[in-house]
Structure 1
């Protein structure tokens, strides 16, 4: 299955007023190879094993395969993951016919908030709320696989001010 998504920094916390729900996420990587990542994620009381292929040149499209697994299986897989976990709260914000997944990160990624939107095509038009900031689609620093080994705490303080 092809995943088409765009990713943005978030300017402020106004999105929380528009969120319909939120869930805590714990995730780690069995493999962070640039051409294929294998992720284990616990999302609330559910767990998933996800394989993602290499991103397109613009970073919008890649193959994604996901299978729900039990929490017990996820715990076993977390034990064999590479160092570095991601902890975040995911908020779902519905605007028109689109759902933004807004992730507020914790731990070494505290202070980072990213919104993602899945689309039917890379050029599909979608609403852009005022809290949506700079687009970072294709910027590998903002891939969760990279944030798990090179956290946001090591980024420049200017990251939100990049034109």
Structure 2
């Protein structure tokens, strides 16, 4: 009869052999199942371009237009900037930016885009002189327009 320590060693060796055998069998069955699944999948038939039907239209490039209601205002006088958008989601916000010292600064003036793609934004400016402005939404930017504040 062997000592308890020897018995433990035998049991451990048998146990690790069982685990290794189960691991090898599992890996082999997964590999075979994957091969069978790809073999069962039929190859796609080649389709000519004319038989494929109309191609999906390329998504329209996002675009914003902007037009101020006036070209000149007194300081802090309310005016409107209106415009339309294409390729932008209704409900997303457009924001007014002003060029200050060579950098575009977002002003606290934004409004959501309507279902038809239009927007209307009330604006008050205090910097006297010629103000360069634009409307942005994400990376989409309108052409620059100017409003003179006197």
Do both share a fold (TM > 0.5)? Answer: no
Q: Larger strand proportion, structure 1 or 2?
A: 1
Structure number with greater CO (CA < 8 Å, separation at least 6) is 1
What TM-score, normalized by structure 1, do the two folds share? Answer: 0.23
Bigger Rg over Cα: 2
TM-score (norm 2): 0.24
Structure with the largest fraction of helix: 2
